[in-house]
Amino acid sequence: MSESKSGLNTPFDQSTRYERKRLHLGVCGSVACYKAADLLRAWTGMGMHVSATLTPGARRFVAPLLFESLGAAPVYEDMFSQGQDVFSHLEPGQHAQALVVAPASADALFRLAHGAAGDMLAAQALAFDGPMVIAPAMNPRMWANPATQANIDILRQRGVRIVIPACGGTACGEQGEGRLAPLHDIFLAALRALSPQDMAGKRVMVTLGPTREAWDGVRFWSNPSSGLMGAALAVAAWLRGAEVTAICGPGVRARLPREIARHDVVSARDMFQAAADLWPGMDMGMFTAAVADFSPQPFGPRKFKKADAPDGLTVAFTPNPDILRTLSEGRKPGQKVLGFAAETAADMQALLPLAHAKLQGKKADVLAANRVNATDSGFGAVTNSMAVVDATGHEEIWPNQSKADVAWELCSWLLRS
């Protein structure tokens, strides 16, 4: 398995879509400001260019040299620092494609909300007309104060994306909402700010992961799917503006943004029922789950013992509902369907006829097939090589690439179909 580029273990760590994107990071005075260095490493690890501004409060906790050594360039300090360009307060607005403030203190929220320009970061924000992401961090009572919430409301009304603080213990010893949000949430929020919003207004349902079909009280029939491909699709659609619902089989540990509605299920019938209930309200369905085609006839709630079958054991199986075909056949006009096929094939060319056959049998708009008998593709891998076909007869073979990049291309294909 390849090493994560971001180090945050999100479904989009391996994406190449953000190489050479330009981001400006503002860091304010907070105990949590040391975590901003990890965000910087995550973004630069994806090939992004990041500049940074440390407020006077932030510099009481961390030194500018830390950010310079991790690749931030330039790193701004005070408005009138010696040797600094006189128009440094305008430069992020001229070069960066998104601005992220993490952590943002209560004082910074006030300055950003009311257009103050007395310090470098506030002036840079005032001169910045691109997408902005703010991740506050402070004492829980300061966060809950009506004055702070009024500033948050003002910023939201202007289109600023707020990454809400997490609950838990804070540096002052108090418990409550005020901790800096998990870094993967801030990391993905920045990627969303840098992404085209061509799926805005779309409601997308994704099924992902394996199913488990119980046989006795402790055993089940399943497969080694990790759900990473489906998680990458869910995140890709969300990054591009969609409202996403993920129906996750057991054992899916992917870090999804909190805005993605997550429904955890176990068996194929559980997944079918959840998907059938949600499908009428969706615009797109992405059926990536490795659903068991059959379920063993259950022995019962207790553990089966060898003594129960001293001469051997025969297990009977019954078919499970075909989620992809059933929902595809019953869809409303305008609904689009992406199906997946996990196949064992000799090579990529051999996947194409299998993909075409499944496309026709499932009545999908787009069908993506991958080899699960290849070490760098399919179950458990962070990469996939795909044979992709659609209902118009178009077909392509994609070389091995990250599942994040595959997901991005599949979203684009489904939009065009």
| Residue numbers annotated as active site | 172
User: Scanning the structure block, which residue is given the tokens 């409060």?
Assistant: 57
Q: Kindly report the number of other CB atoms within 10 A of residue 7's CB atom.
A: 15
Among 291, 277, 278, residue whose Cα is nearest residue 204: 278
**Residue 338: phi, psi to the nearest 5?**
-110, 125
Give residue 62's Cα distance to chain centre: 29
Q: What is the 3-state secondary structure (H, E, C) of the chain?
A: CCCCCCCCCCCCCCCCCCCCCEEEEEECCCHHHHHHHHHHHHHHHCCCEEEEEECHHHHCCCCHHHHHHCCCCCEECCCCCCCCCCCHHHHHHHHCCEEEEEEECHHHHHHHHHCCCCCHHHHHHHCCCCCEEEEECCCHHHHHCHHHHHHHHHHHHCCCEECCCEEEECCCCCEEEEECCCHHHHHHHHHHHCCCCCCCCCEEEEEECECCEECCCCCEECCCCCCHHHHHHHHHHHHCCCEEEEEECCCCCCCCCCCCEEEECCCHHHHHHHHHHHHHHCCEEEECCECCCEEECCCCCCCCCHHHCCCCCCCCEEECCCHHHHHHHCCCCCCEEEEEEEECCCCCCCHHHHHHHHHHHHCCCEEEEEECCCCCCCCCCCEEEEEEEECCCCEEEEEEEEHHHHHHHHHHHHHHC
